[in-house]
Amino acid sequence: MKKALIVANWKMHKTRTQGRDFIQKLRRLSVPRDREVVICAPFTVLSSLDWKNLGAQDMFWEASGAYTGEISPVHVKDAGCTWVLLGHSERRQYFSETDSMIQKKLAAAVQNDIKPIVCVGETREQRKRSQTFRVLRKQIQALKRKSGFVVAYEPLWAIGTGVNATPEEAQLVHVFLKKLVSVPIIYGGSVKPENTASFMAQSAIDGLLVGGASLNFADFRKIILSF
C-alpha cells in the first residue's frame, strides 16, 4: 500500500518535555494505516521521543571529524531517526546552504540509509516573473539523482505566511516535478486542518510537510484525520 506521508516540521520549537507530551498524545491516536506520520524535531529533543518515524531537520555530510557544531548521519541514526529534511528554504536563506551542499547531504543520507526529504521552492518574485519551473528544474537537477528520496515542494511565499498555494497550483507543480524525478512529492506551506483534504484530493500530491500547524496537537490531529 502506498502511504500518504504527513511530516511535522517543528523547526526551532519545543523542549524535550513538550515533545514527549505531544508524542504521548500522538501514540494514543489510531493513525489510519494508509498514512505515515514523521516527526522532525530539534536535535536535542529527538532521542527523548518514542516515535517510530523520527526525522532530523538537517545533517552534515561527513560521518565524523573536526566540524564543531555539526551533526553527522551517524548521530542522526544514533538519535533514532530514519528520516532527514534537507535543503529547507530557511537553511538556504539563513544559513547559506547551496544546491551543491544539499546534493552532498542527499548522497550522505542515501549512503547511510536515512530517508531524505529534499525541499525545493520558488520565491514570490520568481513566481511573478514566471520562473517557477526554471528554478525548480535547477534545484532538482543539482541533486544528481532521480530516485531514492522524497521531494517537498514548498513555495517560499507560502511558508509561515498563512497564504497557501491553491491545491490546483500545487498539483501543476507536482506534475511538473514528477516528470523530472520518480519520487513521492509532498506539499508544504501554510498547510492547515482546513485545507488538508483539498491538497490530498490532488492526484500528484503524495503527502504534506506541516510547520506551524504541527506544533499544536489538536491541529495536527485534525490534519492526520481529515482526508
Q: Which of 109, 107, 110, 86 is nearest to 97 (CA)?
A: 86
Site string for ligand PGA, 197-216 (x = CB under 6 A): ------------xxxxx---
Instruction: Output 1 or 12, the one with its CB closest to ligand PGA.
Output: 12
Nearest approach, Cβ of 190 to ligand PGA (angstroms)?
4
Q: Quick check: 83 and 54 in contact, CB under 8 A?
A: yes
Which residues within the stretch 6-25 sit at the binding site for ligand PGA (CB under 6 A)? 9
Nearest approach, Cβ of 154 to ligand PGA (angstroms)?
6
Nearest approach, Cβ of 119 to ligand PGA (angstroms)?
7
Which residues within the stretch 133-192 sit at the binding site for ligand PGA (CB under 6 A)? 154, 159-160, 188-191
Look up 88 and say whether it is catalytic.
yes
Instruction: Output 73 or 212, the one with its CB closest to ligand PGA.
Output: 212
Nearest approach, Cβ of 189 to ligand PGA (angstroms)?
5
Instruction: Output 102 or 191, the one with its CB closest to ligand PGA.
Output: 191
State the Cα torsion 200-40-190-135 to the nearest 10°. Answer: -90
Q: Quick check: 227 and 191 in contact, CB under 8 A?
A: no
Where do the DSSP E strands lie in 128-227? 150-153, 185-188, 207-210
Strands 4-9 and 35-40: parallel
DSSP run (H or E) holding 55? strand 54-56
Site string for ligand PGA, 19-58 (x = CB under 6 A): ----------------------------------------
Q: Cα 42 to chain center, whole Å?
A: 14
Residue at shortest CB range from ligand PGA: 211
Q: Which residue has the cell 561527513?
A: 62
Integer Cα distance of 100 and 121 in angstroms: 16
Q: Which of 88, 90, 122, 174 is catalytic?
A: 88
Q: Which of 90, 97, 154, 174 is catalytic?
A: 154
Q: How many residues lie near ligand PGA (CB under 6 A)? A: 13
Instruction: Output 73 or 189, the one with its CB closest to ligand PGA.
Output: 189
Nearest approach, Cβ of 97 to ligand PGA (angstroms)?
14
> Dmax over Cα atoms in the chain, in whole Å?
47
State the Cα torsion 48-119-94-54 to the nearest 10°. Answer: 0
> Cα dihedral sign for 119, 212, 94, 49?
negative
Q: Phi/psi zone of residue 140: left (φ > 0), alpha (ψ -120 to 50 degrees), beta?
A: alpha
Instruction: Output 6 or 101, the one with its CB closest to ligand PGA.
Output: 6
* Residues lying near ligand PGA in the complex (CB under 6 A): 9, 154, 159-160, 188-191, 209-213
Q: Give the residue numbers marked as catalytic.
A: 88, 154
